[in-house]
Structures are given as structure tokens and as C-alpha cells.
Amino acid sequence: MDEPAAETALPSNAGFARRSLYILSANPVSFVALGGFGLIVLAAVFGPWLAPYDPLLTDAAIALQAPTAAHWFGTDQLGRDVFSRVLVATRLDLTISVLAVALSFVVGAGIGTMAGYYGGRADRIASRVVDTIMAFPLFVLAMGIVAAMGNSVENIIYATAIINVPFYARVARAEANIRRNAGFVQAAKLSGNSGMRIVGMHLFPNALPPMAVQASLNLGWAILNAAGLSFIGLGVKPPTPEWGIMVAEGANFIVSGEWWLALFPGGALMITVFTFNLMGDALRDIVDPRKRT
Amino acid sequence: MGGFVRGRMIARRIIQALPVLFGVVLVTFLLTRALPGDPAAYFAGPAADAKSIAQIRESLGLDRPLPEQFWLYLKDLATGDLGVSISTGQPVMAELARRLPASLELTLGALLISLAIAVPMGVLAATRPGRPIDHFCRILATAGVSLPTFFTGLALLFIFYYLLGWAPAPIGRLDFAYLPPDPVTGFYVIDALLAGDTETAVAAFSQLILPMATLALFTLAPITRMTRGAMLQALGSDFIRTAKAAGLSRRKIIGRYAFQNAMLPVVTTLGMVFSFTLGANVLVEKVFAWPGIGSFAVEALVVSDYAAVQGFVLSMALLFVCLNLAIDILYTLIDPRVSIDG
């Protein structure tokens, strides 16, 4: 409820970019999130070149050292540089979650728009499938899927994608359903467009904005989920640097006071998810002002 | 009238849950049969020879067509047979039943704490928009959902066990110095209290407090956010304006009219919160070496003990379906509109 009066003062013919900027400026946190997002993407792209040490290089002589000027985040039980490992891990963690979200976006959009447009039996089958997925505690289902399909990074991506499909399918279905008899759809039908073409060219683009919001809100959760799976020993194998597995390895040293092993990868994970969630909120403010909190 | 309508609605909810139940069992069955390569080899474990694999294949009915296998699977389920865990040599059902109280004690305790904090906080925030408590709630809602549970658990452990020494070591449900109380409910704290043994109850509770706080922190954010949103919506609606115009006290408007209506969407979201909690439970159990079904599943995953993992997935899903059903029934019971319509 940020000053609704000021919002109406903005001329309705203002451009999309100006309008977005205007909405974002009401909430300066969005810019912080945007900056953080830029840094995370930079770390993901250039991480391996920026890292001061080889993330896999072991050196028993300097094992378990607290943070120093030479090793900003300290060293782990094998003498590897924690800072380099946290930095290099960014790419893998982002890749897993972005691929998973993209996959569930595409599949969910397809299933949802078709179910919403065609209705009837297709709709009933799709809804049943979605309901069945949602009937599982999602993280537990992901565990079961990875266990069944095999313990690999690829399958972590598939499992994360499957448990996210329902959210996209529901949004897409609702958006397609309210427009299935709209004027422009009937016009398209009368001018001889096929059902698939209407779904793809007319209904899907309309469902895009709310689905984009869903995706950005979903991204943080996908990272948490993938990191959680590798925390319990699924997917990524040591010594690959990945945040979840680094926290898992560091967990054994927490009770003896070596906090830096788990804190830095865990902190990186937390900040990344937080940044993505803030971005999602900002995007939602732009797309759907009614849902502002 | 209202009672009759409610009874019929509850019956309908139970019937609606049946296809979902069937779907859950079917998916779990397909997962067990989708194992790459030879499922029999997976179920027999890495140490099995050709003969025991053949034996497993026959006992699982893997040489028969899929629908028939599903029928056999259903028959096994009906008798509570989930197969044998390779890592412990015990029936999976017995293992799960033995560990379930530990998980439930943790999960339900955490949810109770979280509800007790989150609901009043959401109401306070909604009735004081723009004030510090409101801002605090908004920050908490975004920050809270960004917390990796396994990481908050470790952070709490480091602060309260290593630095401050207030919490006991994370070695499970009870320190070795104490004997577990006679099982009545399976919840150590309650059982010890029932037996009149306050010392053991305190010891069990002190083991419980950190994992419980970790899970509660995790569920706090979504419940607060939902309560705040629902309260705001209820307070902005016409019947509240009417109640205000009729001169009802603020206390009555917020406490009775707005709150009762705001609780409906909150109860609905509880289902989603449960889903996340049961997942987070697995991670928290691993962090605190909590001997529940979550850590059982994690151990089973590491040694590729598939019967145990699938049994775990199925039992969690069944638990979740039952919880959702309970929520639906609760919803029907507290929905003030039902009695009006009836």
C-alpha cells in the first residue's frame, strides 16, 4: 500500500520503461536487489577467472585456517581456499536452478494453456496430474525422483523442474481459461487459425507476464531446493564446489568451532536467494500493482 | 441445519481425497519401477548375487505385466508391506513406524510455535499498516523464505551450542545419561511428563528446542505474510465498514469479524506450508542427527536402499494427504458462511 494517490498522478500514457522506473523508485530496495543480481551474474560468468586460487587445489599445510588476508574466507579441511570455491560454485548453482525453472516454465505453459483453452478431457487429465504432483511434499518427491532416476546433476534439474511444473501450469491454465472466449480468440478462430496456433500465438503471450513473475519468484526457491538436495548427498559429487555440498562438508566442523567452512557458502546461498526474491517482488509490482505488499 | 450441511461437506471432502490418494500410490509405484536398469538388482542391493536378485524379482513380481505388478503392490500395501530395508535388514514399515514419532514431535512442535508467533504478528501488522511492526513483518516475510533451513540450523547450533553453551550437543532426541520414557504417545517430552519424570522431560525438550526453532523460523515467514494479507483484505471489506458504521467496538471488529474471515485463507495456505515443512524436516533432521524418518531416508539414499526411500516417499505423501484432508475439514468447520447458507 505505498501511496496509491501518488500513483494515479502519473500520466497513464507514460512509457513502460518510465512507468517501471517510477514504480521501482517507490521501493529503493529494488535497486539494491538489481545491483546484487548484477554481481551474482558476474560471479557466475567470470567466477573461474576471478578466483584467486584453484578451487580444487589441496594443501594440507594450511588446512582449516580461519579467514586471513591471503584466504578471505579461510581454508577447508583439505587446505582449499573457501573464497575461490564459493565464487566458482555460483555458476553451477545458478545453472541448475535456471535450467530447472526454464524447463518447468516451458512444460507448465504448454500443459496449462492447452488445458485452459481446450477444456474438457484434456483439462481434467492435466488437472489430475498437477494435483497428484502437488499431493506430495515437493522436496520429498524430488528426493524420490532423484533416487529413482539416478544420482546425477542432470536428474537434480529434472526433479526440480517436475516439482515446479504445477505452479506454472496453474497460472497458465487460469490465464488461458479466462480468454478462451474472448473476442480476439473468436476472431482468430473465425479466420481459420488452428487450435494450436491460437494457443501458441494468442493465449500464451497473454499468459506471459504473470508467468514471468512466477518464474522470478520461483528461481530463489529452485536454488534452495537444489542446494538442499546436494546437502543431503544427491546430485553434485565432491570435490565439485557447490554451495549445498560445501555447507554439508562444513557442518561437521561447526561443533568444533570452524564456522567459516559452512558460513560462507551458506551465506552466499542465502544472499542469492534473497536477491532473487526481492527481484521477483519488484517484477510483480511492475506487472501486477494490485498484489503489492 | 448448519451441522447437517457441514457433515455432508466433510463427507464430500473425504471422497475427493480418494483419487488423490490413488494418484500418490500410482506415482510411487511408477517411481519404484522406473529405476534405470534392473529394479530387482537395485532392491537386492549392491552385495546381492544373481540368485538373490532372481529371488527378489520373483517376490516383487517384476517378471509380470505392469498392471499386475501394480495390483500386487497394492495388495502388499494393504498388508503394510513396504519391503525390506537393505541397510538395516528390517521391514521398511517397522523402521518408519519406529522413527515417525520423532519426526512428528519435531514437525508439529515447530508448527505450533510458528503459528503461535506468526498469527498474532500478522494481525498486529495488518491493524497497524505503515508502523514499525508492519515493516518488520514485510522484511521478515522476504528474508524468512530466503533462509536455507540447513544453514539456519547450523548457525543456531554454532551460536547456542558452541559459543554460548546453552544448548546440548546435537546427538538426537535424548542425552545418553537418560533413559527414554515408556512409550505412550511416542513423543518423549509428553511421555516423560505422563510418567511424572520432569527431569527427563526437560532433557528431551532441551534436545528438541534448536531443531524445532529452526523449522519454526522457516515456517514463520509464509504464515505471517498470509495472515497479514488476509487480515488487510478482510479489514478493507464492506462488512467491516458496516460493522464500524453500526458502532461496534474495535476489539469486536478485529477479533471476531475480521479475524474469523481472515483465518480461512490462512488455513488454506497451511497445506502448502506443511508441504515445505515436511521437506525441510529432512534437512533439519540431518543437521541435528535427529533419529526421525527424514534422516532414515537420507541414510538410505546414500547406500541406495531403494525400498526404504520409496517407503519414505510414500509415507510422507500419505501423511501430507491426510494433513490436507484435516485442513479441508477444519476449513469447513470454521467457515462462517457454511451455517448461513445452510
User: Average pLDDT over chain B, rounded to whole?
Assistant: 83
Q: How confident is the model at residue A291 (pLDDT cuts 50, 70, 90)?
A: low
Residues of B in contact with A133 (CB under 8 A): 27
B121 vs B110: CA distance, rounded Å: 16
For chain B, what is the domain count? Answer: 1
pLDDT at B204 over 90: no
Residue A104, pLDDT score: 93
Residue A149 CB contacts under 8 Å (≥ 6 apart), including other chains: A155, A158, A159, B34, B36
**Mean pLDDT lowest for which of A25-39, B9-23, B120-134, B232-246?**
A25-39
Query: What are the extents of the domains in chain A?
Result: 19-61+68-291
Residue B144: pLDDT over 70: yes
Q: Sorting pLDDT into bands at 50, 70 and 90, what band is B2?
A: low
Is residue B336 very low, low, confident or very high in pLDDT (cuts 50, 70, 90)?
low
Measured CA to CA, the distance from residue B24 to residue B13 in angstroms comes to 17
| CB–CB contact A140 B313 (8 Å) | yes
Assigned domain for B1 exists: no
A197 inside 8 A of chain B by CB: no
Radius of gyration over alpha carbons of chain B, in Å?
24
User: What nine digits make up the cell of A184?
Assistant: 480476439
How far is A170 from A156, CA to CA, in rounded Å?
23
Residue B231 and residue B124: Cα distance in Å, rounded?
A: 9
B138 touches A: beta carbon within 8 Å: yes
Residue B275: give its domain's CATH number: 1.10.3720.10
Identify the DSSP state of A236: S
Q: Which cell numbers hold the place of B281?
A: 524436516
Residue that is written with C-alpha cell 511424572 in the block: B196
| C-alpha B320: how far from chain center | 7
Q: Is B239 part of a structural domain of the chain?
A: yes
B289 touches chain A (CB under 8 A): no
Provide the number of CB pairs (under 8 Å) joining chain A to chain B. Answer: 164
Q: Grid coordinates 533419529 are at which residue?
A: B291
To the nearest 5 percent, what fractions of chain A are helix, strand and coil?
75, 0, 25
A chain contacts of residue B283, beta-carbon cutoff 8 Å: 228, 231-232
- The alpha-carbon gap from B186 to the nearest alpha carbon of chain A, in Å, equals 23
Question: Is residue B86 a part of any domain in this protein?
Answer: no
Tell me if A136 and B31 make a contact (CB, 8 A cut-off): no
Q: Which domain holds residue B252?
A: 99-303+323-334
3-state secondary structure of A205: helix
Min Cα–Cα distance to chain A from B195, Å? 33
Q: Which residues of B touch A267 (CB under 8 A)?
A: 151
pLDDT of residue A12: 52
A3 has pLDDT over 50:
no
Q: Mean pLDDT, to the nearest integer, of A225-244?
A: 87
In this structure, is residue B310 part of a structural domain? no
| Candidates A141, A262, A277; nearest CB to B146 | A277
Cis-peptide, bond into residue B168, ω within 30° of zero: no
Quickly tell me which residue has 494433513 as its cell: B323
In this prediction, residue B135 has a pLDDT band, given cuts at 50, 70 and 90, of: confident
Q: Does any CB of chain A come closer than 8 Å to the CB of residue B27?
A: yes
Compute how many other C-beta atoms are within 10 angstroms of the C-beta atom of residue B189: 21
Which CATH topology does A19-61+68-291 take?
A: MetI-like fold (1.10.3720)
Task: State if pTM tops 0.80.
Answer: yes
Label residue A122 by pLDDT band (50, 70, 90). confident
Chain-chain contact of A247 with B23 (C-beta, under 8 angstroms):
no
Range with the lowest mean pLDDT among A17-21, A108-112, B310-314, B318-322? A17-21
Return d(Cα A220, Cα A271) in angstroms, integer.
10
Which residue in the set B24, B170, B282 is minimally distant from A232, CB to CB?
Answer: B282
Which residues neighbour B1 within 8 Å (Cβ) at sequence distance 6 or greater?
B339, B342
Residue of chain A nearest B302, judged by CA positions: A233
Q: Give the per-residue pLDDT at B299.
A: 86
Q: How many Å apart are CA A195 and CA A180, to the nearest integer?
A: 11
Pair A246, A89: CB distance under 8 Å: yes
Cα–Cα distance, B328 to B270 (Å, whole number): 10
Q: Which of A43-52, A241-250, B99-108 has the lowest mean pLDDT?
A: A43-52
pLDDT on residue A9: 47
Confidence bin at B198 (pLDDT 50/70/90): confident
Q: Note whether residue B21 is domain-resident.
A: no
Does residue B156 fall inside a structural domain?
Answer: yes
- In the 3-class helix/strand/coil scheme, how is chain B assigned residue by residue? CHHHHHHHHHHHHHHHHHHHHHHHHHHHHHHHHCCCCCHHHHHHCCCCCHHHHHHHHHHHCCCCCHHHHHHHHHHHHHCCCCCECCCCCCEHHHHHHHHHHHHHHHHHHHHHHHHHHHHHHHHHHHHCCCCHHHHHHHHHHHHHHCCCHHHHHHHHHHHHHHHCCCCCCCCCCCCCCCCCCCCCCCCHHHHHHHCCCHHHHHHHHHHHHHHHHHHHHHHHHHHHHHHHHHHHHHHCCHHHHHHHHCCCCHHHHHHHHHHHHHHHHHHHHHHHHHHHHHHHHHHHHHHCCCCCHHHHHHHHHHCCCHHHHHHHHHHHHHHHHHHHHHHHHHHHHHCHHHHHHC
B87-96: average pLDDT: 86
- Asked whether residue B19 is domain-assigned, the answer is no
In a domain, residue B252? The reply is yes
CA distance A56 to chain B (A): 23
Query: Average model confidence (pLDDT) for chain A?
Result: 82
Is the CB of A69 inside 8 Å of chain B's CB atoms?
A: no
The partner residue sitting opposite A144, judged by closest CB among B149, B162, B313, is: B313
Burial of residue B52 (CB within 10 Å: 0-12, 13-18, 19+) is middle
Residue B36 has pLDDT above 80, yes or no: no
A54: DSSP letter: -
